[in-house]
Structure 1
Amino acid sequence: MSAPWRRWRRRPWSTADAILCCALGLGLAAAFVGPAAKDAATLHRPSSLPSRARGGDSDSQSSLALSVLIAGAGPSGLLLAHRLLSAGASVHLVEGRRDPRTDKSLEGRAYALGLGIRGRTAIRTAGEKLWASIKPSGFASERFKLHFSPTFAIDLRTPEDNNGLEPSLLIYQSDLCSAMLDELEASFSGSGRLQISFETRLKSADPVSGSAVLQSGEELEELPPVDVIAGCDGVNSAVRASIASACPGFKAEQTPLPGSLKVLRFPQMPEKLDPTAVHAIPGKSGTSAFVEPTARGGCALINWRDAKDPETGPSLGDLVDPTEAQEALEAYFPLIADALDAESAKQFVAQKASRASIVKCNTYSFGRAVLLGDAAHSTGGASGQGCNSALQDSVVLAELLQKEVGTGRDVEEALALYSKKQVPEGHALLDLSLGPGETAGPVRRALYGATSFVGTLLSKLGLGEPPLQTVLTTSLTSFSEIRRDRDLYFGAFPSQAEFESEIERATA
């Protein structure tokens, strides 16, 4: 096994890790933590995110004569569709869930995510009109509070720290996808190159031939071969499974993280909390809540461990009676007690608890199949960059297909270039999200923790470099560059040549 693959190994999470996850917002806080590192005008802009936004139909642009099947109509799949259709490709978008625009109610595990500068910049490459259509459905926030008790909290970010950066946008994924779908259909429904199939999932695919089988209910449909099969289908990706079955050298590690999650939604933010701020709140017995304002009230991610403690009562996951659930949540989280009612308690017990997972792959493409977002590199929501990095994947893939295939290069070669560019990014983000693993050793892990804590405090005083979460959130510097700057804590990050060699061996 080559160096880039075996160097990472995640240790089991401790109680401190669970509290850190609360501070990181279980995938959202990183969009708010820390002061802005630089003014927006001086932010680094990598070549994968061009400065000139593109948008609209492709009649006046060079034509990309490709047929593309996109599995997953989440944000990354929809942005990829926007970009490829603008370039002249034909796109068939399939999504196992129903059209989010047909039912505006928030059900089950519907949650809000944070779009930082990486996500905003990626979306804008499809045109400023697309971003303008998304903004009204979100809530702009520049405040983040970390609570240590019901009576003591510190401000980790305030509007004064922003230094001219556009605030992060808190938005339910369903609202984000609805806005992107509306613009997609408005721009391309008359082109004859867009087909969207909801409540239809990819059952299987052949990365070599480009053929695929779709399933809608009990009905199966065999599709003719396409040029590209793009897996934007999440942690349990069918496209990733197809690569695994066809490519002997492909290695994918999927590791569930400890702890369980459920979502609470309120008509308005709890009275004891600043209604304009995001709040990380540790609860008793290792529980945590991450509460954020949205355009439709408040939203809270509740996290707990499944281990039962006789002194604290049953696990939150064992509660089936709404009254008992309301009482337990009020006891665990006094700061949100006034927002809890019978309806939110019913909502809580009706949900199936979920668990976050890590996904790490040694290549993101094989044949005509390619992976994006959580299908390629899930961090389990530990850094707040999941959606933002997935949107960047879409831009990089679209740019490479347009550049390489548009100038006569083979599709598979273009997908291999995407893999060589994005695999180091995915591995770097995983390191940065979870911290040094076991191979770093106890001294490096302790040094990393102490340095991070002291650095955060000094940054509030205007001293020293901005903390890691600020760099991730407020700059477009590549994750690989950020990770290599921290070799002292993590150990040496593989070189670009090492990554490319591993990818070539895996796909040979």
Structure 2
Amino acid sequence: MPAVRNVLVVGGGAAGAAAAILLAEGGVAVDLVDAKPDVAALGSGITLQGNALRVLRELDVWDQVRAEGYAFDTLGLRAPDPAGTLLAELTDLRTGGPDLPATLGMYRPALARILLERAGEAGATVRFGTRPEALVQEGDAVTVTFNDHTTRRYDLVVGADGLRSWTRRAIGIDAEPGPVGMGIWRTFTRRPESITRTDLFYGGPAYIAGYCPTGPDSVYAYLVEGVRDRSGLSPAQTLATMRELSGAYHGPWDELREQLTDPSRVNYTAFESHVLDGPWHRGRAVVIGDAAHSCPPTLAQGAAQALEDASVLAELLLRDDAVTEDLWSEFTARRLPRATEVVEASLQLCRWLLDHERGDVPGLMARISHLVAEPA
């Protein structure tokens, strides 16, 4: 018998949907609430490493993800010169195992749809436009009041509600993400035939210029710069700024730039990062995913670490017959050191770039790849 009978999951992103799927499949009554009005999510593309794909297979969505995404096993390094010269082609470690690709790119809203539909199929009750407004812990139960004035009692609350987590604050964890010093321009457009994997350009006016195929006909492209306040730009200025910044990059970027015509397909985000240094639970409430840790996307491990959180948490709750300190100690031991190492490595890459320091980037990437190749 599971350690919990009913659970509230706050947040319908990767971590929340994964936790809902696994717990509902294990016989737990799950309510998943998300403040957004529907499954449509803002965003462009997402890069999923093999260890993320391993969890997606556990969730029984791998066939759908593979059909809608774009898988590849190599990484290209290119020069910021007039030809976009290919400097190296590296074979990535298949961190999810030999039967899964090293990397898969995907349209982020498509992944959200697949996961939330799967949560509903597994038996979770999914409610959009719903958010908690009060949370009171009473012994082995948590009473939650929602914005529709309804109140329910749960054995456990799982806060998977992102960087600005309401749950994290509600349970008294005083930690917020901090600035990294970089910002990223992103766009989502038609995939040129020449793009069949991620290529990274280091140098030029941006710290990193890159792209990732996200489906048979789509691609996600990005430029990382020193963080600036871009909030005052009009849509036309936003588009013009990304086009101008991309002008130093060639090869496939020349085709991408020709397609940069729609301001609604361009967005800018500042990098932030944090990791909760200690247990991620308080009583019968726990935070996972970006609510517990976040890292800049320099290692493309954000979604993977969130999915791993959900997998480990669900495993322990379905394995044990009670929520005990031993359960929480094991969860902390299995997730905190691993997530901390990934976050710190992602930040180290940022520091090398910001300081114009030639660090051992291949060595760092190899170390993290070998770390996450071991199941969480």
Q: Which residue of 2 aligns with 1:185?
A: 120
Match among 285, 302, 312 for residue 386 of structure 1: 302
Q: Is residue 2:342 matched to residue 1:429?
A: yes
Q: Which residue of 2 aligns with 1:120?
A: 53
Q: Tell me the CA shift for residue 113 of structure 1.
A: 2.0
Q: Cα gap change, 1:63/1:227 in structure 2, threshold over 3 Å: closer, same or farther? A: closer
Gaps of 5+ in 2: none
Match among 116, 124, 135 for residue 205 of structure 1: 135
Q: Cα gap change, 1:414/1:344 in structure 2, threshold over 3 Å: closer, same or farther? A: farther
Aligned residue for 2:119, secondary structure, equals helix
The residue type paired with residue 275 of structure 1 is I
Q: Which runs of structure 1 show a deviation greater than 4 angstroms over 4 or more consecutive aligned residues?
A: 62-65, 158-165, 315-320, 453-456
Q: Tell me the CA shift for residue 276 of structure 1.
A: 0.6
Q: Which residue of 2 aligns with 1:396?
A: 312
Q: Is residue 2:289 matched to residue 1:363?
A: no
- On the 8 A contact 2:94/2:100 being kept in 1, the answer is no
Identity fraction in percent: 20
Q: Which residue of 1 aligns with 2:225?
A: 304
Q: Cα gap change, 1:413/1:205 in structure 2, threshold over 3 Å: closer, same or farther? A: farther
- On the 8 A contact 1:365/1:371 being kept in 2, the answer is yes
Output the CA distance in 1 between the equivalents of 2:274 and 2:317. Answer: 25
Aligned residue for 1:252, secondary structure, equals coil
Deviations along 1:234-254, one digit per CA (max 9) or x if unpaired, are 11111111122xxxxx55252
Aligned residue for 2:270, secondary structure, equals coil
- On the 8 A contact 1:319/1:325 being kept in 2, the answer is no
Q: Within 5 Å, which residues of 2 pair with 1:15-414? A: 66-100=5-39, 110-126=43-59, 129-150=60-81, 151=83, 152-158=85-91, 164=98, 166-167=100-101, 168-188=103-123, 194-208=124-138, 209-215=141-147, 220-244=148-172, 250-269=173-192, 274-282=194-202, 284-295=204-215, 296-306=217-227, 318=233, 320-321=235-236, 324-325=240-241, 328-335=244-251, 336-341=253-258, 344-347=261-264, 351=267, 353-361=268-276, 362-404=278-320, 406=321, 409-410=322-323, 414=327
Deviations along 1:244-279, one digit per CA (max 9) or x if unpaired, are 2xxxxx55252122122232112223x7xx321211
- On the 8 A contact 1:370/1:415 being kept in 2, the answer is no
The residue type paired with residue 213 of structure 1 is T
Output the CA distance in 2 between the equivalents of 1:318 and 1:257. Answer: 22
The residue type paired with residue 154 of structure 1 is L
Output the CA distance in 1 between the equivalents of 2:327 and 2:98. Answer: 37
Q: Cα gap change, 1:94/1:455 in structure 2, threshold over 3 Å: closer, same or farther? A: closer
Rg (Cα) greater in structure: 1
Match among 449, 470, 476 for residue 374 of structure 2: 476
The residue type paired with residue 262 of structure 1 is W
Q: Tell me the CA shift for residue 413 of structure 1.
A: 5.5
- On the 8 A contact 1:94/1:196 being kept in 2, the answer is yes
Output the CA distance in 2 between the equivalents of 1:437 and 1:454. Answer: 14
After superposing the two structures, state which structure 1 stretch, 359-368 or 275-284, moved more: 275-284
Q: Tell me the CA shift for residue 74 of structure 1.
A: 1.1
Q: Which residue of 2 aligns with 1:8?
A: none
Q: Cα gap change, 1:303/1:135 in structure 2, threshold over 3 Å: closer, same or farther? A: same
Q: Cα gap change, 1:180/1:160 in structure 2, threshold over 3 Å: closer, same or farther? A: closer
Output the CA distance in 2 between the equivalents of 1:140 and 1:432. Answer: 24
Q: Cα gap change, 1:382/1:334 in structure 2, threshold over 3 Å: closer, same or farther? A: closer
After superposing the two structures, state which structure 1 stretch, 89-98 or 220-229, moved more: 220-229
**Equivalenced residues, count:** 364
Q: Cα gap change, 1:395/1:288 in structure 2, threshold over 3 Å: closer, same or farther? A: same
After superposing the two structures, state which structure 1 stretch, 333-342 or 383-392, moved more: 333-342
Q: Tell me the CA shift for residue 380 of structure 1.
A: 2.4
- On the 8 A contact 2:197/2:213 being kept in 1, the answer is yes
Q: Tell me the CA shift for residue 172 of structure 1.
A: 2.1
- On the 8 A contact 2:120/2:126 being kept in 1, the answer is no
Output the CA distance in 2 between the equivalents of 1:431 and 1:222. Answer: 41
TM-score, with normalisation over the residues of structure 2?
Answer: 0.83
Q: Cα gap change, 1:195/1:391 in structure 2, threshold over 3 Å: closer, same or farther? A: same
Output the CA distance in 2 between the equivalents of 1:367 and 1:298. Answer: 43
The residue type paired with residue 155 of structure 1 is A
Q: Tell me the CA shift for residue 140 of structure 1.
A: 0.7
After superposing the two structures, state which structure 1 stretch, 338-347 or 257-266, moved more: 338-347
The residue type paired with residue 128 of structure 2 is F
Output the CA distance in 2 between the equivalents of 1:307 and 1:436. Answer: 19
Output the CA distance in 2 between the equivalents of 1:185 and 1:63. Answer: 20
Deviations along 1:18-51, one digit per CA (max 9) or x if unpaired, are xxxxxxxxxxxxxxxxxxxxxxxxxxxxxxxxxx
Q: Which residue of 2 aligns with 1:29?
A: none
Output the CA distance in 2 between the equivalents of 1:324 and 1:252. Answer: 36
Comparing both structures, which one devotes a greater share of its residues to strand? 2
Aligned residue for 1:363, secondary structure, equals coil
Aligned residue for 1:236, secondary structure, equals coil
After superposing the two structures, state which structure 1 stretch, 163-172 or 138-147, moved more: 163-172
Q: Which residue of 2 aligns with 1:23?
A: none
Q: Cα gap change, 1:434/1:396 in structure 2, threshold over 3 Å: closer, same or farther? A: same
Aligned residue for 1:303, secondary structure, equals strand
Gaps of 5+ in 1: 1-61, 189-193, 245-249, 309-314, 457-465, 479-508
Output the CA distance in 2 between the equivalents of 1:288 and 1:182. Answer: 35
Q: Tell me the CA shift for residue 397 of structure 1.
A: 0.7
- On the 8 A contact 1:124/1:131 being kept in 2, the answer is yes
Q: Tell me the CA shift for residue 65 of structure 1.
A: 5.0
- On the 8 A contact 1:143/1:276 being kept in 2, the answer is no
- On the 8 A contact 1:366/1:412 being kept in 2, the answer is no
Comparing both structures, which one devotes a greater share of its residues to helix? 1
